[in-house]
Chain A
Amino acid sequence: AQSVTQLGSHVSVSEGALVLLRCNYSSSVPPYLFWYVQYPNQGLQLLLKYTTGATLVKGINGFEAEFKKSETSFHLTKPSAHMSDAAEYFCAVSEDFGNEKLTFGTGTRLTIIP
């Protein structure tokens, strides 16, 4: 069975500082991994995804994530936070070979301090 753990329900960083949002997963088979962003009063938008190939994945708005199989992690980073990055971020996992649905983490709310 697959599961996702997002460490830290709330993260605050200063504008211009590094953003690091943590995601660990459990999966019995090679996973597909996703990060979504939700701005206030909006739906979820895909930031980036890992399926196969390069383990460092670049997404929209300067975000990237690295798949580390040995650590079962898929942490999201951005070198320099911007005020517009304030949102809620969700990590999700889907096992390969016919899994019918994504399993989402409980989300991390990112606050940017001016």
Chain B
Amino acid sequence: NAGVTQTPKFRVLKTGQSMTLLCAQDMNHEYMYWYRQDPGMGLRLIHYSVGEGTTAKGEVPDGYNVSRLKKQNFLLGLESAAPSQTSVYFCASRKGTAYGYTFGSGTRLTVV
């Protein structure tokens, strides 16, 4: 049982490049989330999904897009990367509102 798997684990991008971060969960969870973590700022929610085919904005959605075409996958896209998007990105999933999150191990992204 792998839980929540994030790929890639590390990536360096040049300003203006695009990329997609993949989050996959094998627990049949309805809810999935993308957070970014920056020093001194805690966890900030980027986008989330409450079920297959649905997405919603979090507190810092600008510059990111997401898709949830399959229940088990939640993709985070950066169309034109900026240095301000240098961060550690975490994906999480959740069975329901009475449950906590299961987190992935993170993707460390550097934009130069």
Contact = CB atoms under 8 A, between A and B. Distances in A.
Given A90-B43, A107-B42, A99 B105 contact: no
Contacts, number: 52
Q: What is the predominant secondary structure among interface residues of chain A facing chain B?
A: loop
Contacts of A42: 105-106
B97 A45 contact: no
A97 B33 CA distance: 19
A43, A94, A99, A100: most-surrounded residue (chain B CB, <10 A) = A43
A43 B48 contact: no
A102 interface: yes
A101 B100 contact: no
Interface string A48-77: 010100000000000000000000000000
Interface residues of B, number: 21
Interface in A24-49: 32, 34, 36, 41-46, 49
Interface of A: 32, 34, 36, 41-46, 49, 51, 90, 92, 94, 96-102, 104-107
Contacts of B58: 101
Nearest to A103: B45
